[in-house]
Structure 1
């Protein structure tokens, strides 16, 4: 029974990773498609290749370790993990259908935490005893901090570039920035793969712990090699399938993006994700690149950013963790009562 449930959980985790890829593909390719540097087909191939490259170059799984520690080990069961994954997949598909660039990361973490707290309730423990409060609070804080960091980086990168290129011929400068966008989008895709694939790695790792096949390690250092290989493959395959509804939102609805601004936004997003990955903070790629796009819009004028769209996105970010937690709580309760 445990082995069968483990197989189901691993398959669902890989499915979530694939959905994460096409849900968040827009983060890596929206600006490069909207500036017509690459066609949509070329862009998803480009992004997927650099998603997978992270497998060869990222050897420490700090983010995976953080995700694995979200729920205390005593409250983790296979049903908790299963309920969290079902909730995360459901919310990701709903937001994708409506073209809302919500966070796959926070969906997964919210689902896992919500199921864990519900399990604590059924075990007659305090619901907060089930979760590791410190990393949860840090993750929640970065809902706001990550896009703000991306915004600041993007704003100043754009200002510096504009100053350095103030005497350049516009046509020549545009050609250069279209070429540079290939590099900046590759960097963003690399950090997207390195950051987001690790979240699913953490879930699969903790399912092996809950099944008794592994002992919990705070840094997930004893993770079998097949887990990262499978997760990087799944997210790259998902990216190749695209996520066109969200590409439209990210690439055109927040602000109009030029090749120069695309370079700035993608570079700012990549820098932010690299720093947070090193610190083991599972931030949202979606939030980060949205903040970066807003940052480049602000260099023109405040009104260049479509604030109505932006505010709607922020509300989607805020509700993602609690809705995912409630969905997971409902799924876990159903499984509990039907035995």
Structure 2
């Protein structure tokens, strides 16, 4: 295999991981910045560090699901299969970038998996996709926000009940708990989004013949994990400020107790999904957790019009990424075939 093609695929995977961290930075630091628990630069540095920890050490099951559970890498045996990788990653990078510029915290999981499905169908038809796993993943992407909203709502209610007779000093406690929960959220995010990116990276290398499944076991080269962890944590470091403002300030005016509730919920839901090997939309989880904690305090306090715009971006992501990746594969295929 041409070393130039391998280098291009590696670079594209790393750019996608960076763009993923750049957009999803809001999931990790918008809340502590919005409540002024942490200064922006400190929040970014800490989130980037804990993102790396989660992406490097945790979440192997998620990587396996993405690499071999959505489509069978063995099906992609000729050079045209490489176009799948470019179509998937270019679609995901484009959608991530557009929504980050606009300020919408979209799901890179939706964009990546939708793009993966669309380009795979363009290459080999509908039968190449493991629809049972795809339906399971998309079902979780639907139910996770509902779970997150409900859990955050109840955690907030419980926190207010336990604090009903406390002095104003309780705010300092919740501020410290919020900082700790933001670190947990970053670790959980790294274990899911970081390892999901590793999964598509490994799939790419399998198609190129650089990596193979040995003795029925799933193998991830350490250099792949390291580069992916570094790229997504670097993206977090340079996070999209427009998205941070949307999540941390525009959905609901967050206080320390709300930040603690939302981030604790997010960390629990996302890490549970990582243990189960399910690539989850951490964006959906965090945003609906913010909505849940806001609704627990006062339904009308949540800015539902902003929430409506976010939901619209979420709904559009899946069909957009499937369609664009399908068309992009066909276009690149025609160009390459006629060279």
Do both proteins adopt the same fold according to a TM-score greater than 0.5, normalized to the shorter chain? yes
Partner of 1:297: 294
Pick the aligned partner of 1:92 from 93, 96, 107. Answer: 96
- Distance, in Å, in 1 between the alignment partners of 2:316 and 2:140 is 14
* Aligned: 1:161 with 2:150: no
Partner of 1:66: 65
TM-score w.r.t. the length of structure 2 is 0.94
Partner of 1:129: 127
Q: Where do residues 4-153 of structure 1 align in structure 2 (5 Å cutoff)?
A: 4-55=4-55, 57-58=57-58, 61-68=60-67, 69-73=69-73, 74-75=75-76, 77-120=81-124, 127-153=125-151
Partner of 2:241: 244
Q: CA deviation at 1:52?
A: 1.0
Q: Show CA shifts across 1:6-34 (max 9, x none).
A: 22111111011011111000001111000
Q: Show CA shifts across 1:17-69 (max 9, x none).
A: 011111000001111000011111111101001001124542x5111111112
Pick the aligned partner of 2:250 from 245, 248, 253. Answer: 253
- Relative to structure 1, the CA distance from residue 149 to residue 220 in structure 2 (aligned partners, 3 Å threshold; closer, same or farther) is farther
Q: CA deviation at 1:218?
A: 11
Q: Unaligned 5+ residue runs, structure 1? A: 121-126
Query: RMSD of the alignment, in Å?
Result: 1.7
DSSP 3-state at the match of 2:47: helix
Q: CA deviation at 1:242?
A: 1.5
- Relative to structure 1, the CA distance from residue 241 to residue 2 in structure 2 (aligned partners, 3 Å threshold; closer, same or farther) is same
DSSP 3-state at the match of 1:299: helix
* Aligned: 1:334 with 2:331: yes
Pick the aligned partner of 1:268 from 260, 265, 269. Answer: 265
Q: Unaligned 5+ residue runs, structure 2? A: none
Conservation of the 8 A alpha-carbon contact between 2:54 and 2:186: no
- Relative to structure 1, the CA distance from residue 279 to residue 207 in structure 2 (aligned partners, 3 Å threshold; closer, same or farther) is same
DSSP 3-state at the match of 2:36: coil
* Aligned: 1:183 with 2:183: no
- Distance, in Å, in 2 between the alignment partners of 1:219 and 1:178 is 48
Q: Show CA shifts across 1:54-85 (max 9, x none).
A: 24542x51111111122233147211111111
Q: CA deviation at 1:313?
A: 1.2
Structure 1 residue runs of 4+, over 6 Å off?
217-220
DSSP 3-state at the match of 1:33: helix
Q: CA deviation at 1:217?
A: 7.1
Conservation of the 8 A alpha-carbon contact between 2:65 and 2:277: yes
DSSP 3-state at the match of 2:297: coil
- Relative to structure 1, the CA distance from residue 256 to residue 220 in structure 2 (aligned partners, 3 Å threshold; closer, same or farther) is farther
Conservation of the 8 A alpha-carbon contact between 1:6 and 1:78: no
